[in-house]
Amino acid sequence: MTDTQSLFSLDVDFAPGAIYPERPKLLIVDDQPVNIQVLYQVFSASCEVFMATSGQQALDVCRQKDPDLILLDVVMPDMDGIEVCRKLKSEPETRDVPVIFVTSQDSPEEETLGLEVSAVDFITKPVNPAVVKARVKTHLMLKIQADALRQLASVDGLTGISNRRIFDERLQVEWRACRRTDKPLSVIMIDVDHFKKYNDHYGHLEGDACLKMVADALKGHEWRGRDVVSRYGGEEFVCLMPETSLEPALAKAEAIRSRVYDLAMPHAMSGNADRVTISVGVACTTPKTNESKELLSAADEQLYKAKEGGRNRVEG
Ligand code: GH3
Ligand code: MG
Ligand code: MG
Ligand code: MG
């Protein structure tokens, strides 16, 4: 492989659907600029290279740039590579980035310690360009494969929004965060009205298209960074709004309901509306216990009330 070729020019097709980035993002960390220079020359043609000369800078650049792989020096004055790696692995945003240690400390103890803090590989200085390139390529491929699997496991195939697994995970995280900070947490539950009749009348494929339209209407709203919008199952959707009290959550729910109404998707069997409508239940609490499921049950109860009250409405 020459320097001007993509690292993936010898594509091995291990991840169905995996898209190899044209220029994978590589972070090189070393307190000696001359060492960075050596690695930069190996990778600058095939990767987008970021550099850091201290442990703290490495953490900052990693959070900002979201690299696909890190080449990490071990011995550094402020924070050594082992500590940097521990910190990266303890944060959800950075824990999946593979770390390869590059160090002159080549004792078995050092290597063991490196692997114990979840580094994927260990390369000793002075580096051999062909070897470091081959190892980086292998770990980049594994990273891309893992990204593809993570994507498959978190996105709903029909609508492209996150699935229930992600929602349940985020609910746990945000429940704990709001409990710690004494902030309210709101949930909006959405259910398409008379959807069984829709399928029966228009067919299952049209039903699928309808669910996609509803999901797009949800996605199209302005959400805040920590909000989560998921397909909860079947024709049910759910939104999580951390640090949001009942009133703004109700306003959001009403905006969603009217947006779906305004899509005016024909539904001949919907009763009065003649179009696809949704019923929405909203609940809010400031978490005090461990029982996050109570918030979902409360939203579900409100959803039931909206159905009982004649559908195409918000309760909370
Ligand atoms: P209600 O107004 O009380 O909610 O009535 P409903 O008919 O919407 O509720 P019900 O739970 O009886 O029916 C939900 C229907 O949603 C039944 C199921 O076939 C359909 N459904 C669930 N998932 C999918 C899907 O992925 N695609 C399609 N087309 N239909 C689905
Ligand atoms: Mg060093
Ligand atoms: Mg339902
Ligand atoms: Mg329904």
Tens digits of residue pLDDT in 20-30: 677 899 999 99
Phi-psi category of residue 71: left, alpha or beta, with phi > 0 → left and psi -120 to 50 → alpha? beta
Please tell me the predicted confidence (pLDDT) of residue 10. 44
Give the number of C-alpha atoms closer than 13 A to the C-alpha of residue 263, restricted to the C-beta side. 23
Ligand 1: which of 190, 196, 257, 308 to mutate, judged by most atoms within 8 Å of the beta carbon?
Answer: 196
Which ligand does the CA of 192 lie closest to? 4
Rounded distance between C-alpha atoms, residue 44 and residue 50, angstroms: 10
Per-residue pLDDT, averaged over 18-46, amounts to 90
Please tell me the predicted confidence (pLDDT) of residue 4. 45
User: How many residues are there in the chain?
Assistant: 316
- Cis-peptide into 184, omega within 30 deg: no
Question: At CB < 8 A and 24+ separation, what contacts does 11-14 make?
Answer: 12/141, 14/141, 14/145
Q: How far, in Å, from the CA of 79 to the mean position of ligand 2? A: 10
Rounded distance between C-alpha atoms, residue 306 and residue 17, angstroms: 41
Residues around ion ligand 2, judged by CB within 5 A, are 31, 73, 75-76
- 191 C-beta closer than 6 A to ligand 1: yes
Residue 237 has pLDDT above 70, yes or no: yes
- The pTM of the whole model exceeds 0.90: no
Task: List the helix and strand counts (H, then E) for the chain.
Answer: 10, 10
Q: Name the phi and psi angles at 153, rounded to 5.
A: -80, -10
Per-residue pLDDT, averaged over 64-71, amounts to 97
Q: How far, in Å, from the CA of 6 to the mean position of ligand 1? A: 47
Please provide the average confidence, as pLDDT, over all residues in the chain.
92
Cβ-Cβ contacts under 8 Å for 251 (sequence gap 6 or more): none
If you take atom 31 of ligand 1, which residue's CA is the nearest one? 234
